[in-house]
């Protein structure tokens, strides 16, 4: 069995096959300030009085928070009141919240082997822990509130075998951008992506979260890593004991891809699809001027990402033509960055540092682009209008490339600074 089949079989209490439909009770059901209000309204509309499993419900207001306008404030108010009325303890108020997919693993709320649904497409992030985690809609969440169940189709899997080691300043982000360019934006539609091979142990937990996070950008239902000694150590820090989990030798895959980490270069994904990746050395030749650099998000807002950005920005200054916005993914990440002196480095370099929020990634607030503006961003999507005006552009890259570009004022190779 593949990892996806193993977890779903365990939850179903019998061996399941790809293509089967299942009704299962997830361990965790997540929603945010955009998707929860719709779920709450539906729950009430369909006669919901008492949430079936309040201890499995997680509510994180992270997209338009701290509230960007009155309407957003009303949305969060609805979530807050719902949490109080239903006795939902995992509602994360401003000051304690983080970007949901940084926060949940960090707090040990999601763990290896769990079945997790979230009304947020990047819920697939927890696949890094070896959890079957996938994005669903608000109606699915409302259904979970009502009856504690969600429907699933058991996915086929794509196996990605990793070998070698990353070269200096090449990261997990570069790996996943390259992978999406190989698979295409719908290459993994309805399927799970499963990572394996000797290269897996070369990738830290923070790196694995970045990779699993972007499985959805290839259409993937989730992006699963095996549970190995790195995962076990991460879980143990949170007081969680888990066992190793690998796919079976005879597991069946619909497609196999091999990638050598040592052959990768830093990548830049051009507008308007995450699959438009090019080597940064090629991109640099084009002298693409940028107006903004964003370093953060559920993709790259963890401590290793900030360390990498600080390594590049230390003792240098951001181009006077660029706004560089750095957003730690959670309060813990923020505090750790303060402790390590990273925030000093950022401020001395001329960066703005923000409280955790999804903000600019989806053109919400905290760095919306004007007409004709160009951003380099460590976020996950570069669709038309994603970060603001429909005639603005977003290039996706790693924290190293984003930081180097912020200094130069154009998309630049961090290895040549």
Binding stretches for other proteins (CB under 8 A): 21, 23, 34-35, 37-38, 41-42, 46-47, 63-64, 68-69, 71-72, 75, 118-121, 123, 135-140, 142-143, 146-147, 149, 151, 153, 185-186, 189-190, 219, 221, 273, 362-364, 381, 383-386, 390
With 0-12 / 13-18 / 19 or more C-beta atoms within 10 angstroms meaning exposed / middle / buried, residue 64 is buried
Q: Is 358 annotated among the ligand-binding residues?
A: yes
Q: Which is nearer to other proteins, 183 or 407 (CB)?
A: 183
CB of 118 to other proteins, least distance (A): 8
Q: Where are the beta strands (DSSP E) in 73-128?
A: 90-91, 115-119
Q: Which is nearer to other proteins, 48 or 226 (CB)?
A: 48
Strands of 255-260's sheet in order across: 222-224, 192-196, 157-163, 255-260
**Residue 196 contacts residue 160 (beta carbons within 8 Å):** yes
CB of 192 to other proteins, least distance (A): 11
Q: Is 298 annotated among the ligand-binding residues?
A: yes
Q: Which is nearer to other proteins, 42 or 408 (CB)?
A: 42
CA distances in angstroms from 56 to 30, 59, 117, 191, listed in the order given: 8, 10, 10, 25
Q: Is 361 annotated among the ligand-binding residues?
A: yes
> Which tokens is 81 given?
């009141």
> Which tokens is 89 given?
């303890």
Q: From CA 410, how far away is CA 417, in angstroms rounded?
A: 12
Q: Which is nearer to other proteins, 35 or 330 (CB)?
A: 35
Q: Which is nearer to other proteins, 118 or 199 (CB)?
A: 118
CA distances in angstroms from 395 to 154, 177, 361, listed in the order given: 34, 11, 12
CB of 70 to other proteins, least distance (A): 8
CB of 14 to other proteins, least distance (A): 17
CB of 210 to other proteins, least distance (A): 18
**Residue 397 contacts residue 405 (beta carbons within 8 Å):** yes
Instruction: Give residue for tokens 């240098």.
Output: 316
Q: Which is nearer to other proteins, 280 or 362 (CB)?
A: 362
CB of 271 to other proteins, least distance (A): 12
DSSP-derived letter for residue 227 is B
Numbered residues of the known binding site for [4Fe-4S] cluster: 298, 358, 361
Numbered residues of the known binding site: 298, 358, 361
């Amino acid at each position: 069995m593949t990892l996806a089949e193993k977890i779903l079989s365990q939850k179903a209490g019998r061996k399941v096959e790809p293509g089967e439909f299942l009704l299962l009770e997830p361990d965790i059901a997540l929603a945010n300030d955009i998707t929860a209000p719709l779920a709450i309204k539906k729950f009430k509309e369909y006669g919901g009085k008492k949430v079936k499993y309040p201890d499995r419900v997680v509510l994180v207001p992270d997209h338009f928070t701290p509230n960007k306008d009155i309407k957003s404030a009303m949305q969060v108010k609805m979530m807050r009141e719902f949490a109080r009325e239903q006795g939902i303890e995992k509602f994360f108020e401003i000051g304690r919240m983080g970007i949901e997919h940084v926060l949940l693993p960090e707090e040990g709320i999601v763990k290896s082997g769990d079945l997790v649904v979230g009304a947020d497409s990047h819920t697939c992030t927890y696949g890094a822990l070896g959890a079957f985690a996938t994005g669903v809609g608000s109606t699915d969440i409302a259904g979970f509130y009502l009856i504690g169940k969600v429907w699933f189709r058991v996915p086929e899997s794509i196996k990605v075998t990793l070998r070698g080691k990353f070269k200096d300043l090449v990261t997990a982000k570069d790996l996943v951008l390259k992978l999406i360019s190989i698979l295409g934006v719908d290459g993994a539609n309805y399927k799970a992506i499963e990572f394996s091979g000797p290269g897996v142990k070369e990738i830290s937990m923070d790196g694995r979260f970045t990779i699993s996070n972007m499985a959805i950008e290839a259409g993937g239902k989730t992006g699963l890593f095996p549970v190995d000694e790195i995962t076990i150590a991460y879980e143990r820090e949170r007081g969680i004991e888990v066992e190793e989990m690998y796919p079976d030798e005879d597991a069946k895959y619909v497609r196999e891809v091999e990638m050598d980490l040592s052959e990768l270069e830093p990548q830049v994904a051009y507008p308007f699809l995450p699959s438009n990746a090019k080597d940064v050395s090629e991109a640099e030749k084009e002298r693409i001027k940028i107006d903004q650099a964003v370093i953060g998000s559920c993709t790259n807002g963890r401590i290793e990402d900030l360390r990498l950005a600080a390594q590049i920005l230390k003792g240098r200054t951001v181009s006077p033509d660029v706004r560089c916005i750095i957003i730690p993914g959670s309060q813990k990440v923020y505090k750790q960055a303060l402790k390590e002196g990273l925030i000093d480095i950022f401020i001395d370099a001329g960066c703005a540092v923000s409280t955790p929020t999804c903000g600019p990634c989806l053109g919400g607030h905290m760095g919306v682009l004007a007409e004709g503006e160009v951003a380099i961003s460590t976020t996950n999507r570069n669709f038309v209008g994603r970060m603001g005006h429909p005639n603005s552009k977003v290039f996706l890259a790693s924290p190293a490339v984003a930081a180097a570009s912020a200094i130069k004022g154009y998309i630049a190779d961090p290895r040549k600074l």
